[in-house]
Amino acid sequence: MKKVVEVNIGGINFTIEDDAYIQLKAYLSRFEASLPKEDAKEIMEDVEARVAEIFQKEIKYPNQVIGEDSVRVVIQCLGEIDSTINSNSNSQQKTSKKMKTNKKLYRNMEDKVFAGVCGGLASYFEIDTTIIRAIFVLVFFFGGSALLAYIILWVIMPKAETVIQKMEMNGEPITPENLRNYSK
């Protein structure tokens, strides 16, 4: 018989084994310590949301207790905190390729003229923003529906405001090293 703990991770309640909880708490503490102090709170909220998302994928039936195996999956997905990341760049690159996340469509607020729609589309399709803008201008002058399409996209595409959303927009894996790079 194992002791279990009720925890709230990313706004979702989970029942987790005590040993797994200790392991997860230690990992998240190391993760937070590796981040710049000024961005740590916001990033940790995003990391907790990611942990909750991974746990939800691991749960196969209602009221399932999360064990150490699920915590290992979280650590594997987010990456182990390691001070020798630079010396292990080959293994880090291999891990990054395996853990590439699915891209999500967001408005890129760092590459915007009006609302960031073209910047977001350019990030999603991995092409230059100027090409997307040129396409919108050409369609506007020759077809006329570009303005309507732009307005619709403006309304339905969410902004990439948090570090995690920016990483998802670019298809980057959510690892401690990438979080440090994006928070700078």
pLDDT score of 30: 85
The pLDDT-based confidence of 101 (bands split at 50, 70, 90) is: low
Q: Which two tokens stand for residue 165?
A: 């959303």
**DSSP per-residue string spanning 114-128:** SSSHHHHHHHHHTS-
How far are the Cα atoms of 7, 93, 122, 138 from residue 173, in angstroms, in the given order?
25, 11, 19, 35
The Cα 77–Cα 100 span in angstroms is: 10
The pLDDT-based confidence of 96 (bands split at 50, 70, 90) is: very low
The pLDDT-based confidence of 10 (bands split at 50, 70, 90) is: confident
Q: How does the average pLDDT of the chain come out, rounded?
A: 79
- In DSSP terms, 13 is beta-bridged to 8
pLDDT at position 95 over 50: no
Closest by CA position to 77, among listed 108, 59, 101: 101
Q: What percent of the chain has pLDDT over 70?
A: 85
Taking CB atoms within 8 Å and a gap of at least 24, the contacts of 151-154 are: 153/117, 153/121, 154/107, 154/114, 154/115, 154/117
The residue ranges of DSSP E strands in 18-121, in sequence order, are: 65-66
pLDDT single digits (tens) 16-65: 998 989 998 988 888 888 777 777 787 888 888 888 888 888 888 888 88
Closest by CA position to 68, among listed 2, 130, 117, 8: 2
Question: What is the number of H-type helices and E-type strands within the chain?
Answer: 9, 3
The Cα 126–Cα 164 span in angstroms is: 18
Polymer length of the chain: 184
pLDDT single digits (tens) 147-181: 888 888 899 999 888 777 888 888 887 777 777 66
Q: What is the mean pLDDT of residues 110-137?
A: 86
